[in-house]
Structure 1
Amino acid sequence: MVATAPRTRAEIPADDTWDLTAIFPDKAAWEAAIESVRADLPRLTVMQGTLGSGAGQLLAAFALQDSIGNRLGRIFAWAGLRKDEDNANAEAVANYDRAVKLSVDASEVGSFVEPEILAMPDGVIESYLDGEPALAVYRHALESLLRQRAHVLSADQERLLAAAGEMAMAPGQIFSMLNDADLRYGTVTDEDGNSVVLTKGSYSRFLESRSRDVRKQAFTLMHQAYRDHRNTLAATYAASVKADAFYARVHNYGSTIEAALSPHNIPLDVYDNLIATVNGRLGLLHRYIALRKRVLGLDRLGVYDLYVPIVAEVKREFTWEAGVETVLGALGSLGDDYRSVLAGGLDSRWVDVYENVGKTSGA
């Protein structure tokens, strides 16, 4: 029996894929945007050493950074979504790498801005904000920067760290390629005896199966695939942790948790309180697990038993079109403006509907 397998990207009808022409009409326009960013980087470079000359110069630097950043966002979005369509598409991966490289280059060029602002005498930024109304939009960012003064290094040091950004991203990119392009999970024999290729998209459906054997098959196959690559995964994760620890240390944070929270002005107590609150309520989870075990009539509850419904089965299946109408109807109370934007986006192919081989999970 031939196993039912997910479709390749080429087999997905165009109407069921997202339309990226809303970002760039074609590859040539994407290339032109890259060139426009590269052309503007020297304009930012020559501003180094001038930000203290007046509020107007600081505003000009911020405006140029915003312009570069907005274009980079579109460049990154187009390349990233193309890669998400099929992580085994060599051209798409290469284009994404180019977007990453451009972003790192822009970060390196602009790395002088924060140290230069912090090197200004006390009161200068406040006087700029008072004297230049157009800087008001940057008030929060500037106040946050001043609060983070102890964690910003010299311009040369920040430039060096920015240049290393592409290497620091490597562990995540390696995991993504393994997880979305290379891993295969085998086949599951479903309730009707059909052989079905297990994918991330079908995994949750199998875990909700009334057949415990089907649930166990899916769970075992999925986790065995990761177990078979545990050494690669462990090394990749260790490299990611080391990168986080390095950046936290050189930026004078006491821990990686502090480094993650402090830029957003979130006290460590908030994190600690979250953990304590969850731990303090684990008894409720244990009661629910015990109830589930009893209702399912099991001597031992497996992880693969946590998702099957414990109430009488109600079979409900939706087409994509029916799902869209249900969602739009449910959001009617939010008003026509909200609903019309969502409806327009769905009609304009903002969503890539179906799973295909090599597609990023969740995309």
Structure 2
Amino acid sequence: MQNRLQSSALLEFQEAAANLTNPVLQEWKTRGGKIIGMMYHYIPEEIITAAGMLPYRMRATGSDGTELSESRFTQVNCSLVRHLFDSGMRGNQNFLDGVVSVNNCDHIRRLYDNWKAKIKTPYTHFMSFPKKSGLEQAEAYRGELEGFIRSLVEQFDVDISDEKLRNAIKLHNETRRLQRQLYALRKGDAPPISGAETLTAMVAASCMPREYYNVRLAQLIEDCSKAEPSKNHLARIMVIGGEIDDPNFIAAIESQKGLVVTDLLGYGYRSFAKDVNTHGDPLTALADYQVNERPADPRLFGRTTEERDMYISRLVHDFNIDGVISVRLMQCDHWGFEQVNLTKYLRKKRIPHLALETEYILGSVGQLKTRVQAFVESIVEAKHVNN
């Protein structure tokens, strides 16, 4: 779907999202800057920023096979893990100066173990992340973050003061503010930016210096005000899922006239819905944000099922959603159970729902488009009946 948005910032974001590296990241590296890869999103980027380094959300974009991962992983392992390990084995991730991970799931846990054993990135660090939300859990994770800071200081001889942490929090909160502003543009009947273009901008945040990214994102938002929006859609869609980082997946949905106007994705709404508290102890604020404040995915329990349902209802209302598409990467247990819960909740709320399974690297999109087309047509038909 084309909406005639002309923006140099969007073109730059598209290049960054389509490749593991980009010119801005390469320039950072050329100047001697360090890059720390994060295997999942329960890791405070602000700590890495405060250390004067670039936090990089690890992807396997461009991977075309998993042959080199087959000695360590089987087909019952998540395809994100298999492609990411294969990418590392081929040297495609050698620009990383370090890797940090948490025990998100057994697949990610084994990825870290095998990465450390076989790929040998100069710096590696692992943290235990709670499986339940709560004050005690946040306090325990704060201790893990203290260990993370000590390891960065020891490895890279950097200073990570409270003042630097507070400044980093403010910088990343500015990113969140701008991203909320970008999403707000999609609430109208004819948004000036598509869902695929929006995901492109969100993925670019994970692989650019944050100060630079904020300037370019502000430019994109300004460019949206000059765009000529397209109304060539039949249904307004929300996408729910985990590690979806390929804008082509969203583009395939939108090619069937289902405009993706919001989401609950790891690279999307969950990353900016709330700011980190800027008052008091910064490390306590970061721990509390990750455990209790940031909208949780199915990996975290305690308060989170009801909260996720609340977010769905709120977004359905705010963005005038006609239907929800949930996406599960094959072999992901967390999202397998979540799709069952989503189906029950959305049926109770009478919200049309399509559950999809996909591999991390998007292959043939024919079946995907066929199912989305049928879903959009069912929404349109239901609207006619109700009217």
Q: TM-score, normalised by structure 1?
A: 0.25
1 or 2, which has the higher strand percentage? 2
Q: Find the structure with the greater CA-based Rg.
A: 1
Q: TM-score, normalised by structure 2?
A: 0.24
Q: Whose RCO is larger (CA < 8 A, sep 6+)?
A: 1
1 or 2, which has the higher helix percentage? 1
